[in-house]
Amino acid sequence: MQSSLRVALVQEASGLDPAANRARLDALVPDGADLVVLPEAFARDFGEAGSDVSGYAEPVDGPFATELERVAAARGTTAVAGMFEAGPDTARPYNTLVVRGGAHAAYRKVHLYDSFGYRESDRLTAGDPEPLVVEVAGTRVGLMTCYDLRFPELARLLVDRGAEVLVVPAAWVAGERKVDHWRTLVRARAIENTVFVVACGQPGPRYSGHSLVVDPLGDVLAEAGDDAAVLTAELCPEALEQARRTNPSLANRRL
């Protein structure tokens, strides 16, 4: 990290009308941040469990990504948000994060949510397991989506590619133990990799909320509750360097 990275997490629910979700971007993306993170599936919510979302898939240069880019440019920031991306299997699009503004990229969710009674793979196609790291204001940022958080291998691959911050947009379904799992896993990915983790979820009641910013020693710098909220935090390079001196686990690993 060359300098502090100012981040904003927009914990807002997406609706079932893509045009309405696009129209909200201008009001939701704040000024004054280097990086703004919105949740998974913000372009259009999943709908009821098992719903066919293929009719809402767009290309990564389609209406949602184009508006996100316009708003990010107007704010002088880099914005990350989730959408359904049209792919070769027209019945099963990708669950994709688009990065627009100061950086330009797209990350297709690798681990689909076939867990806790859900079957995301029935309706979506998994992306290739290729770690994606982008540079935002001199900081290396690795991308993950929701269920990816439960797979430490992906986080480590991102850090091996230089990630200093992991960004995790999510629609973490509410339920028994779910907030506890979310908080534990976000902190674990930060601690074991000595990186910042910026995890932005959709709010309750359907989802778990509790968006988090965690530092490389696992301290929570900011946390939302269940409801819609905007969090801000400053990620300082000195904290990253100090954490890696205090806990040089990356240097000490033998596998």
Active site residues: 40, 109, 146
What are the residues facing 165 on neighbouring strands? 141, 196
Contact 239, 215 (CB under 8 A): yes
Instruction: State how far the Cα of 58 lies from the Cα of 52, in Å rounded to an integer.
Output: 14
The contacts of residue 49 (CB under 8 Å, 6+ apart) are: 118
| DSSP symbols for 138-192 | TEEEEE--GGGGG-HHHHHHHHHTT-SEEEEEE--B--TTHHHHHHHHHHHHHHH
Are 109 and 65 spatial neighbours (Cβ–Cβ below 8 Å)? no
As beta bridge partners, residue 223 has 212
